[in-house]
Every structure is written in C-alpha cells, then in structure tokens.
Amino acid sequence: MSVAPNRRRTAAAALTTALLLPLTACGSDGKPATGSSASAPVPSSAEPGAAKLTVLAASSLTEVFRTAGTAYEKAHPGTKVTFSFAGSQELAAQVKQGAPADVLVTADTKTMDGLKAETGEAKVIAKNRLVIAAGQGNPFKIDELKDLADTKVKVVLAAPEVPVGRYSKEILDKQGVTVRPVSQEPNVRAVLSKVELGEADAGLVYRTDSAKSGDKVVAVEIPDEQNAVAAYPAATLKQSRNADAAAAFVAWLSAPEAQKILRDAGFQQA
C-alpha cells in the first residue's frame, strides 16, 4: 500500500526532530544558548553585577549616604543602591512589618538592639553629637542649654521615641533644664526645618544637620561633658534576598573610603 512509506517517513522525521532538540538548546561549545529558559543560569546575589540593594537609613544620613551610595556604585559597577530615609523608629516599624530591604542603619544602638531577631550582627560606623540650632541671627542670644528653658523662646524637639529626641531629653535632664516644646517632631530633619522656617526659635539637632543650613540657623555648641554621643550601627537584614551583597556594603561602610566620606560630612569616626 502507498500509505506505509508515508508512515515510515513521518516516523523517521519525528525521530530526527527528537534527536536534534537537545542540541538546539546548546551553543557550539556545548553550553546553553542565550534565551534558553530551560537551561538559563540563575543570577546569584554574589555576582557583583547583579546586586540591587535597598538600604533603610536614619534621616540624618540623607546627604552623606547619597554621596556614599554614588561612590559605592562607582567602585562596584552594575550594583544599584537605593536608599529609604526616615526616623529610626519608623525604619524599625518597617523592618518588623517585613518591608523588602537589605541593610538597616539607625541613629542609635537601642533601636538596632530591638531588632536582633531581624538583623545580622550590627557594627557602629559613625558617631555624632548634638548642637542647639538657634534661629537666623540668634535673636534670643542663646548660648547654652539653660537658655532653652526661657518661656519666651519657642523650642522644638524631636519626639522622645526618636533617637535625637531621647538624646535631647538625656542632656536636658542631666542639666536639670525643663523645656516645654511647642512641638515634637518625627525626625531631626523636621526639627531643623521648623527652626529654618522661623516656626521655632531653637531646637536640638545633630551637628551634621545644622552644618547644612548655612546662615539659616546658628549652631550653638554644647560642651562634651553636657552632650550625648549618637552612635550609628549598620546591619544586614535577615530578610534580604541579596545577603552577600548586603554584607559587602555593610563592611564597606567601615572601610577607609566610606569613613572619609562620613568624616568630610562632619561625622566622627566610630
């Protein structure tokens, strides 16, 4: 019958196709060809060119970390670092809620210590101190902490659950100074903004923040014996999908290049 040869030819063609399929997924060197979904290698977080990092950082690190991020990306081609800045207490809440991120940097060790179940080992990368930010020209002639107790002076402080708010309370209590703030703000940048805009006459902020205000505020130094030292710990987050890259970034923050960037911005070496 004439049908049998056709069947034999069809069977032979099918067999040939089956034998060739494994080869079409390979290049000439036997390696998987580009675009083959079945054999395509999965990028590893250890591959520097594939790293995308999200860093949660205290608001007082905003400018310096943007500079540091640019330097890190330049030294690690292909790596992209994205920052999310907020008060440390807000960052802690985000971490506990499972926000997708790789690294956390807070403005105090207390907040970081409360997240040990969610972080790797923390290391302090920088320190800071407080100053009195007085309004432009310092019209009330504020030159020490006790001047903030004057009821004629509108003082703004950070809320007590915020690191800079705790530091402020600590130094005021130590000197026996009672201040009734006109407002309590969620982070140090909000405190500084109130003074810059003339909505408050003075506030307690980090030295590094006041330095960015130019002549909008007058920074009144607080003697070391009356001051508090703010420590900035950094740690990887256990929920990170880029564990190796996150650890590399945290380690870099203690390296000479990053430490110089921090010192140039007014932070003290850890």
Residue in the structure block whose two tokens are 């020490």: 144
Q: What is the pLDDT of residues 31-76, one digit of tens each?
A: 333 333 333 333 333 444 568 999 999 999 999 999 999 999 999 9
Q: Place 113 in a pLDDT band, splitting at 50, 70 and 90.
A: very high
Q: What is the pLDDT of residues 159-212, one digit of tens each?
A: 999 999 999 999 999 999 999 999 999 999 999 999 999 999 999 999 999 998
Q: Place 23 in a pLDDT band, splitting at 50, 70 and 90.
A: very low
Task: Examine the domain organization and report whether 108 and 237 are in the same domain.
Answer: yes
Number of domains in the chain: 2
Strand partners, 83: 55
Query: CB–CB of 188/247 below 8 Å?
Result: no
Which of 199, 214, 229 marks a domain boundary?
229
Q: Place 25 in a pLDDT band, splitting at 50, 70 and 90.
A: very low
Is the predicted pLDDT of residue 17 greater than 60, yes or no? no
Q: Is 223 in a helix, a strand, or coil?
A: coil
In terms of Cα–Cα distance, which of 47, 41, 49 is closest to 78?
A: 49
Task: Examine the domain organization and report whether 121 and 237 are in the same domain.
Answer: yes
CATH code at position 148: 3.40.190.10
Q: Place 12 in a pLDDT band, splitting at 50, 70 and 90.
A: very low
Task: Examine the domain organization and report whether 136 and 208 are in the same domain.
Answer: yes
Over the chain, what is the mean pLDDT? 86
Task: Examine the domain organization and report whether 120 and 177 are in the same domain.
Answer: no
**Structural domain includes residue 189:** yes
Task: Examine the domain organization and report whether 224 and 239 are in the same domain.
Answer: no
E-strand stretches of the chain: 52-58, 80-86, 103-105, 123-135, 155-158, 183-185, 202-206, 217-221, 229-236, 268-269
**Structural domain includes residue 262:** yes
**Structural domain includes residue 123:** yes
**CA 78 to CA 52: how far, in whole Å?**
9
131 — phi, psi (to 5°)? -135, 165
pLDDT at 50: 61
Residue in the structure block whose two tokens are 């710990």: 233
Task: Examine the domain organization and report whether 68 and 194 are in the same domain.
Answer: no
Q: Are strands 123-135 and 268-269 parallel, antiparallel or unpaired?
A: antiparallel
Task: Examine the domain organization and report whether 142 and 210 are in the same domain.
Answer: yes
Which token pair is 267? Answer: 């932070």
Task: Examine the domain organization and report whether 239 and 123 are in the same domain.
Answer: yes
**Structural domain includes residue 14:** no
**CA 223 to CA 225: how far, in whole Å?**
5
pLDDT at 4: 44
Task: Examine the domain organization and report whether 120 and 173 are in the same domain.
Answer: no
For 18, residues 6+ apart whose C-beta sits below 8 A from its C-beta are none
**Structural domain includes residue 30:** no
Q: Which residue has the higher pLDDT, 26 or 260?
A: 260
State the distance between the two ends of the chain, measured CA to CA, in whole angstroms: 92
**Structural domain includes residue 22:** no
Task: Examine the domain organization and report whether 112 and 165 are in the same domain.
Answer: no
Domain span at 173: 128-229
**Structural domain includes residue 105:** yes
Q: Taking residues 112-134, report their average pLDDT.
A: 98
Four-point Cα dihedral 68, 70, 75, 78, nearest 10? 130
Four-point Cα dihedral 115, 121, 126, 128, nearest 10? 30
**CA 87 to CA 184: how far, in whole Å?**
13
Task: Examine the domain organization and report whether 70 and 150 are in the same domain.
Answer: no
Task: Examine the domain organization and report whether 61 and 119 are in the same domain.
Answer: yes
**Structural domain includes residue 28:** no
Query: CB–CB of 266/76 below 8 Å?
Result: no
Is the predicted pLDDT of residue 11 greater than 60, yes or no? no
Q: If residue 23 lies in a helix (H) or strand (E), which one and from where to where?
A: helix 3-24
